[in-house]
Amino acid sequence: MKILLLNLYYPPDTSATAKMAHTVVDTISIHHRITVLCGRPSYDPTERHPWRPYQTENVDLVRIIRAGSTEFPRFNMKNRLMNYLSYVMLALPRALFLNCDVVLAMTDPPFQGIVGAFLAMLKRKPYVYNIRDLYPDMAVGGNIVAPGALTRIWERLNRWALGRAERVIVLGEDMRARIISKGVAPLRIVVIRDGAEIPPPGKSLPPRDPEVIRAIRGGFSFVLLHAGNLGFYGAWNTLVTAARKLSKEGVAFVFVGDGAERPAVQAAAAGADNIRFLDYFPAAQIPSVLAAADAHIVTVKRGLEGVVVPSKMYGILAAGKPIVAVAPRESDVRSLGVKQGFAVAADPDNHGELVSVIRHLMADGRKLQSMEAAARAAAPSYDRVAELQKYLEIFEHIRAR
Residues 229 and 362 in one domain: yes
Please name which of 38, 31, 34 lies closest in space to residue 6, comparing C-alpha atoms.
38
Residues 29 and 64 in one domain: yes
Residues 56 and 87 in one domain: yes
Residue 206 pLDDT class (50, 70, 90 cuts): confident
Residues 214 and 168 in one domain: no
Domain annotation covers residue 205: no
Domain span at residue 375 reads 210-382
Radius of gyration of the chain (CA): 21
Residue 40, pLDDT > 90, answer: yes
This prediction's pTM: 0.93
Percent share of the chain, pLDDT over 70: 100
Most distant pair of Cα atoms in the chain: their distance: 64
Domain annotation covers residue 155: yes
Residues 152 and 96 in one domain: yes
Domain annotation covers residue 204: no
Residue 200, pLDDT > 90, answer: no
Residues 242 and 278 in one domain: yes
Q: What are phi and psi of 190, to 5 degrees?
A: -120, 125
Alpha-carbon span 130 to 125, nearest angstrom: 16
Domain annotation covers residue 200: no
How many structural domains are present in the chain? 2
Domain annotation covers residue 139: yes
pLDDT of amino acid 330: 94
Residue 203, pLDDT > 90, answer: no
Domain annotation covers residue 324: yes
Domain annotation covers residue 22: yes
Residue 101, classified by CB atoms within 10 Å of its CB into exposed (0-12), middle (13-18) or buried (19+), is middle
Q: Are 70 and 59 contacting, i.e. CB atoms less than 8 angstroms apart?
A: no
End-to-end CA distance of the chain: 13
Residues 283 and 329 in one domain: yes
Residues 366 and 394 in one domain: no
Domain annotation covers residue 348: yes
Residues 143 and 24 in one domain: yes
**CATH number, domain at 353?**
3.40.50.2000
